[in-house]
Amino acid sequence: MDRKDHRLDGRVAIVTGAAQGIGRAYALALAGAGARVCVSDVTEPTETLAQIRELHGEAIGVVANITDQPSLEAMVARTIHAFGRLDVLVNNAALFGSLRMRPFPEISNEEWDQVMTVNVRGTWQTIKAALPALRQAGGGSIVNISSATTFKGSPLLAHYVASKGAIVGLTRALARELGPDKIRINAIAPGLVMTANVQEHADWREAKGGIVATRALQRDSVPEDMTGVMLFLASDDSGFMTGQTIVVDGGVVMH
């Protein structure tokens, strides 16, 4: 790989939810900056792996469920077996693209619980599974994914907005606990990003124009818009930052 970015040379990263969309962009960016990457998802991340290898990057693919602790522990074990260490965890996996926009009284208890289980408990469980390896490496960086909807109070997705607000709180609480281990934990809060799933979703196709109109930078957001901030948080460039949430939404929320 002929690359100019060497800031993650020698580092090892796990990206959850990396079979497509923003997660794939994160995995490609990490590999492009020199990291060896475990690409994880609930389905085989075949295409993401192929793209990394086309660029002569090093990666393994692991099928894992972030709500299942043995599955997560196996993911971390496979990463250590392949690459010997773990330095970076990007908690990208979440429920979003399949959710329909509806008033909160119309959200079923079952759907509410599913969103909280995946988006909040899943992130927490993944951090728990990765913690021993991060400690063994002498520290590292965790990048959580929140959402700009948390700061806007966006309507019609109450369960999703609440789950991503919980990620901000979790990030702050764990920053206090993990600081002594030299493990930093920060979050990215994207606005609406036009992944393939989002483009195919009727609700978001209808809402997109109004969202773009509220941005200071009035254009669609694409997955690659998120990778610069992710690399900053994953690398030593942000070595004295922890507990922070950075909004990347084109200037809707000025946080």
Contacts of 206 (CB under 8 A, 6+ apart): none
Q: How confident is the model at residue 201 (pLDDT cuts 50, 70, 90)?
A: low
Instruction: State the pLDDT at residue 208.
Output: 74
pLDDT tens track for 73-132: 999 999 999 999 999 999 999 999 889 999 999 999 999 999 999 999 999 999 999 999
Mean pLDDT of 237-255: 95
**Pick from 164, 79, 179: nearest CA to 120:** 164
Mean pLDDT of 154-177: 97
Backbone angles phi, psi at 18, to 5 degrees: -105, 10
Exposure pattern of 221-243 as b/e (b: 16+ CB <10 Å)?
A: bebebbbebbbbbbbeebeeebb
Contacts of 47 (CB under 8 A, 6+ apart): 19, 20, 24
Instruction: State the pLDDT at residue 2.
Output: 56
Of these residues, 26, 83, 151, 160, which one is catalytic? 160
Known active-site residue 26: no
pLDDT tens track for 17-76: 999 999 999 999 999 999 999 999 999 999 999 999 999 999 999 999 999 999 999 999
Express as a percent the part of the chain with pLDDT over 90. Answer: 88
Instruction: State the pLDDT at residue 165.
Output: 98
Exposure pattern of 194-210 as b/e (b: 16+ CB <10 Å)?
A: bbeebeebeebeebbee
**Pick from 26, 88, 18, 5: nearest CA to 223:** 26
Exposure pattern of 76-90 as b/e (b: 16+ CB <10 Å)?
A: bebbbeebebbbbbb
Q: What residue ranges define each of the domains in the chain, with the CATH number in brackets?
A: 12-248 (3.40.50.720)
Query: What CA–CA distance (Å, rounded) separates 5 from 32?
Result: 7
**Pick from 222, 243, 162, 246: nearest CA to 21:** 222
